[in-house]
Amino acid sequence: MADTRRALIVVDVQPTFCEGGELPVDGGNAVALAIAGYAAAHRDRYDLVVTTQDWHVEPGRHFATPPDEPDFVDTWPPHGRAGTPTAALHPALSGLAADAAVKKGQYSAGYSGFDGSTGDDRDLRTVLADAGITDVDVVGIAESHCVRATALDALAAGLGTRVLTDLTVPVSAELGAAARAEMAAAGALLVPSEKA
């Protein structure tokens, strides 16, 4: 039986999705700090650490037109604009020392980390395959959207997938519950980080 090689995927922990950002999620800053603490304490558990970022250039209908009339389902206020301070990784992650950084959504919605690529044009699936990764732990913002999409795509890629439930936060309690049910039904393990 092959050895398990595990990656930590840190999804969209950016100021744009935290309190004070363009599309804030309540608890975003606290989750950023919790992820930073967890990663610092448990870096030795992971063969690879990857970050993803919304990095919108011209994402089409993903941004509401007009910008102040989003439906918060398919259209959103402008956020995660490429090159802006709020699209950078959250300052709490300054010591993360990720092995790869994936930017997504330049010209589309790009919810999943698997929709993006690194600076050398490798997609997330390739980054993980090149490192021999068999399993992933997914954390970040928001559980109900980009964390969910990334976890589902990881499962579709044949990776053992866990979502660390205390290191993510949903847009709302209802959407979070629905996302957790969908991820679990697809085969993801939902566990607190203390049991990871």
Percent pLDDT > 90 in the chain is 96
Is the distance from CB of 49 to CB of 97 less than 8 angstroms? yes
Q: Is 139 inside a domain boundary?
A: yes
Rounded to 5 degrees, what angle do the CA atoms 114, 57, 62 make? 70
Q: What is the pLDDT of residue 98?
A: 97
Query: Measured between alpha carbons, how far is 30 from 169 in angstroms, rounded to an integer?
Result: 9
Q: Is 174 inside a domain boundary?
A: yes
pLDDT band at 71 (very low <50, low <70, confident <90, very high): very high
Helix axis angle, 173-186 relative to 148-156, nearest 10°?
Answer: 10
Residue whose structure tokens are 């950084």: 101
Q: Is 144 inside a domain boundary?
A: yes
Q: Is the pLDDT of residue 181 over 60?
A: yes
Distance from chain centroid for Cα 152: 12
Q: Is the pLDDT of residue 17 over 70?
A: yes
Burial tier of 182 (Cβ tally within 10 Å: 0-12, 13-18, 19+)? middle
Q: Which of the residues are catalytic?
A: 12, 104, 146
Q: SS3 of 66, please?
A: coil
- Taking residue 161's Cβ as centre, other Cβ atoms within 10 Å add up to 24
> How many structural domains are present in the chain?
1
Per-residue buried b or exposed e for 100-130, using 16+ beta carbons within 10 Å of the residue's own CB:
bbbbbbbeebbbbbbbbbbeeebbbbebbee
Mean pLDDT (the chain) is: 96
pLDDT band at 2 (very low <50, low <70, confident <90, very high): low
pLDDT tens-place string over residues 126-143: 999 999 999 999 999 999
Q: SS3 of 61, please?
A: helix
Average confidence (pLDDT) over 95-121: 95
Query: Measured between alpha carbons, how far is 179 from 153 in angstroms, rounded to an integer?
Result: 13
Q: Is 33 inside a domain boundary?
A: yes
Q: Is 196 inside a domain boundary?
A: no
pTM of the model: 0.97
Q: Is 1 inside a domain boundary?
A: no
Question: Whose CA is closest to 35, among 56, 18, 22?
Answer: 18
Q: Is 44 inside a domain boundary?
A: yes
Query: Measured between alpha carbons, how far is 57 from 24 in angstroms, rounded to an integer?
Result: 19
Q: Is the pLDDT of residue 1 over 70?
A: no
Supply the range of the domain harboring residue 29: 6-191
Q: Is 180 inside a domain boundary?
A: yes
CATH number, residue 125: 3.40.50.850
Q: What is the pLDDT of residue 160?
A: 98
